[in-house]
Amino acid sequence: MQYKKIGFTDVDGVLRGKYVNLSKLEHSNQIEHCDVVFGWDLNDRCYDKDSVTGWNKGFGDALLTLDPTTERTIPWESGTNFMLGDYHADETFKHVCPRSLLKSILTEYKAMGITPKVGFEYEWFNFDKTAQTIAQPQEHTITQGMFGYSLSKLTELKDFSHQLLKDLQAFQIDVEGFHTETGPGVYEAALKYTHALEAADQAALFKLGVKEIALHHNIIASFMAKWNAGLPGCGGHIHVSLVDQNDKELLHYAENEPFNGISENFLSGILEGSIPLFPLYAPIVNSYKRFIEGSWAATSLCWGFQNRTTAVRIIPAKVGKCHVEMRIPGADVNPYLAIYALLASGLYGIREKLQLKLKEQKGSAYVSTQNAPLPKSLEEAVRIMHDHPLPKKILDPAFVDHYLMTRQAEVKRYQEAVTDWEINRYLEII
């Protein structure tokens, strides 16, 4: 084929891209691309306010640099070549490009002789693709019933399951574990632990791969955080550890033992940054429907050993490396920005030598009254991020301004909408 597929993530984590003739890439790995991708929302509606681009700036071109280390073939698309890119070489758009921002914080870790290792795990629901699915998704899940870790349910749609595993591996996506979760038509996959940038690339490409392979089976794969109030939501948890230049573990956590310096500092920074940076972990209106007590999602700011009711879970070294699991993000999260926020917070803790303020949460965090509640809505989270000094202290200030503008626009879109709940509740009786 005379064309290559190229892609990059926008602020919402959606992979945008196009086919490019190979002749266009013969002498350079850079191309110009319309900068509207940073000037509209995930439904392609341009923002009312200008930021790095906009109506008043004319929507010109930005310089996209392709990364040859990400080149691979797409097995479900007749072996079409694919490559990821970012805007790190563009002096304007490097400040808002998610992949470029992650690279910038990794440069700071590298200067300290520290390498973050990251692994994602995703949950997502699958629906038969019909004309009625969007209106009545509950009627069209690919399986029925609550069957977490069910081998028989995996076999029920083995053609889909087997193609996912086979083609994702051929697409250089390393899936360590794959199983059904509790709920109709819901799966979970854990991605292999690797360097942070590669982990974010794999996370973004994993979601793309799942959605495209699903379409071959007439299935809609959805990573929406919460589509049904009566079912658990979809998590996008992030596992992280730190190693030195010799690949020696730097984080050491054990119950009933004091933490060493960097272990305490890193964890403290993550906790300190969780609420001020909350819109990077919960980026859209629907994200907040997931934070319900008893739903396997955190509802308060706390940490604990092997505790899945907390915002941050500490996993001591039994099998594999000792590491931290950030459990706030849903499957709707932008992987680059979530890791950027997580590592920037941890680095802040290391540099400031922050000490742990919160005591370990033992038992269910859902019944504790001592922990600070997580934001209840995107509007609340955006207000906190806007008013708090920490985001501009530890993140790129230009990005913070741009991101807040995009989230304020998302809130406004929601406030303008009339929902089915309102129609059903008020139309007849009022």
Q: DSSP per residue over 20-46, as a string? A: EEGGGGSS-SEEEEEGGGGTB-TTSPB
CATH number of 108-413: 3.30.590.10
pLDDT of residue 319: 58
Are 3-96 and 108-413 equal in CATH topology?
no
pLDDT of residue 317: 75
- For residue 46, give the DSSP letter: B
Q: Cα separation of 183 and 218, whole Å? A: 20
pLDDT of residue 320: 59
Centre a 10 Å sphere on the Cβ of residue 190 and count the other Cβ atoms it contains: 17
pLDDT of residue 343: 98
Fold category of 3-96 in CATH: Ubiquitin-like (UB roll) (3.10.20)
- Under-50 pLDDT residues of the chain: none
Q: Which residues of 167-319 form beta strands (DSSP E)?
A: 175-180, 186-191, 194-195, 219-222, 236-243, 300-301, 303-305, 312-315
pLDDT of residue 173: 98
> What is the three-class DSSP state of 97?
coil
Boundaries of every domain in the chain: 3-96, 108-413
Q: What angle do CA 370, 373, 379 make, to 5 degrees?
A: 165
Q: Cα separation of 339 and 413, whole Å? A: 27
pLDDT of residue 258: 83
pLDDT of residue 298: 96
Size (the chain), residues? 430
- For residue 285, give the DSSP letter: G
* Helical pair 158-170 and 196-216, crossing angle rounded to 10 deg: 140
pLDDT of residue 321: 73
